[in-house]
Amino acid sequence: MTDLDLTTRLRSFDYPTWRAHVEATGGCAQPVRLRGSSTISTTSGRVLAERTGEVWAPCGNRRETVCPACSDRYAANAFHLIRAGLAGGDKGVPTTVTQRPRLFLTLTAPSFGPVHSRRLSTRGRVIPCPCGTHHRDGDPHVGTPLDPDTYDYTGSVLWQAHAGKLWHRFTITLRRTLAAGLGLSAREFASRARLSYAKVAEYQRRGLVHFHAAIRLDGPNGPTDPPPSGATHELLIDAARQAARSVLLEVARPDAEPLALTWGAQVDVRRISATTAAEVTDERGEITDQRLAGYIAKYATKGTGKTDQHPDRPIRSLAHLDHLRLHPHHRRIIETAWHLGGLDDYAELNLRKWAHMLGFRGHFLTKSRRYSTTFRAIHHDQRIWRLAEQLDELGHDPAADPVIVVNNWHLVGIGHRDETDRELAIAHAERIREQRTTRRTT
Ligand SMILES: [Zn+2]
Ligand SMILES: [Zn+2]
């Protein structure tokens, strides 16, 4: 955007309308533009408010690199959702959940060959990588194979494609291990306890995901119900470690050679403590629920890493990759996924559809049903709140006289008219973010 572009834009006749649209979406980078009308009327038919013309809705994209404004909002909602399950105080989740056995777990991917690394000695010095280099922080080579020709791309893609299934196996094993620890059968465990969790997938520089999960042990009815006696933090932590080590999924390589899929050796399990007063960290290596909710929310807005130089949508052919600035390591993962996706044996993995996500087929943030609230409920509450605010401005009391909202919008287009508009919108989102940060720190 040049100064000339900007000046022209600010002087254009439709600038005030445009600015109002941008503000309504919080500076969305690719707004959904709709045309039509919306009417709020009472049940007796009296029209309270009417709106016609064009409205913009935020794109709602989760990824920071795609839309900073919407990813900010997503992170805020994710934070709310995660925090509600840890600290309670939300609908259906009492604050007594802070007394439940709770833990924060990180499950990693196993090794598929040596990679460039940047590790620090106990004195804080950079240990040289096996390639002989002292990699600096942020070096794009870190996490990529030392020898791409011997790195097990096939194994890594098959692992990633099964990561969701491996997680599912982990939760089953964890329930069984807990049951055994409590001296219960699997059936008895189900009638006396319930495991709830929220988890996020985070891509590492290797292009493989880690799972970070907050896990809570309740009674059979979820957050309102206490767990059975004997269900302690220690029991939950030991069971999680044991379950993570024992999960095994056997699949076959393209040459029929068996491939055993497991979690990586690095399993991090921490007890979650309740946030008290101004406390942020804990010297015992525990993690506070407030801080944890922040971490998890932030992970959920990240893409595949490597400065996100990966395609946004499924690719249609390998030739498509020539138009993208891809790191050679990511390119090779995508090519492997595409190749495997063409084999009958892996048809059900649908790998061509997920090649652009490096073979990961799952959702970024998932939670068990009774963990806490849902994104849908949060969005619903936000819509109701905005409507209540609007009715309040109109001086109308919906309790005395209920209202009906009729929306009739159709899609005009998605995105800004040009790059200048897009950059101006992103700058607007950036200002909102700065103001919020300033308010929080002063
Ligand atoms: Zn957006
Ligand atoms: Zn190296």
Distance 262 CA to ligand 1 centre (A): 37
Neighbours of ion ligand 2 (CB under 5 A): 116, 129, 131, 133
Scanning 47-196, the segments in alpha helix (DSSP H) are: 68-87, 153-161, 163-182, 186-192
Across residues 302-331, what is the average pLDDT?
76
Ligand 1: centre distance to CA 423 (Å): 13
Residue 391 has pLDDT above 80, yes or no: yes
Q: Let me know: does 416 contact 422? Beta carbons within 8 Å.
A: yes
Q: Is the pLDDT confidence value at 305 over 80? A: no
**Distance (Å) from CA 432 to ligand 1 centroid:** 14
Q: Is the four-CA dihedral 230, 231, 233, 239 of positive or negative sign?
A: positive
Measured in angstroms, how far is the CA atom of residue 378 from the centroid of ligand 1?
17
Distance CA 395, CA 369 (A): 39
Fill in the DSSP letter of residue 303. Answer: -
How far, in Å, is the centroid of ligand 1 from the Cα of 235? 43
Model confidence at 302: pLDDT above 80: no
CA of 152 to the centre of ligand 2 (A): 18
Rounded to the nearest angstrom, the distance between the alpha carbon of 199 and the centre of ligand 2 is 31
Domain boundaries, the chain: 3-62+376-441, 94-112+152-371
Give me the pLDDT at residue 440, please: 56
Return the pLDDT at 248. Answer: 96
138 CA to centre of ligand 2 in angstroms: 12
Name the DSSP class of 201: E
The region of weakest confidence among 19-23, 84-88, 168-172, 209-213 is 84-88
CA-CA distance, 375 to 378, in Å (whole number)?
5
Q: Give 124 Cα–ligand 2 centroid separation in angstroms.
A: 18
**Confidence at residue 291, expressed as pLDDT on a 0 to 100 scale:** 77
Distance 131 CA to ligand 2 centre (A): 4
Q: What is the pTM of this model?
A: 0.81
Q: Cα–Cα distance between 281 and 92 in angstroms, integer?
A: 28
pLDDT at 44: 85
pLDDT in tens, 6-44: 777 778 888 889 999 999 999 999 999 999 999 999 988
Picking from 242, 238, 243, 261, the residue whose alpha carbon sits closest to that of residue 251 is 261
**Torsion, CA 142, CA 148, CA 152, CA 156, rounded to 10:** 40
In tens, the pLDDT along 256-286 reads 999 999 999 988 898 887 765 444 444 556 7
Ligand nearest to the CA of 136: 2
CA of 31 to the centre of ligand 1 (A): 6
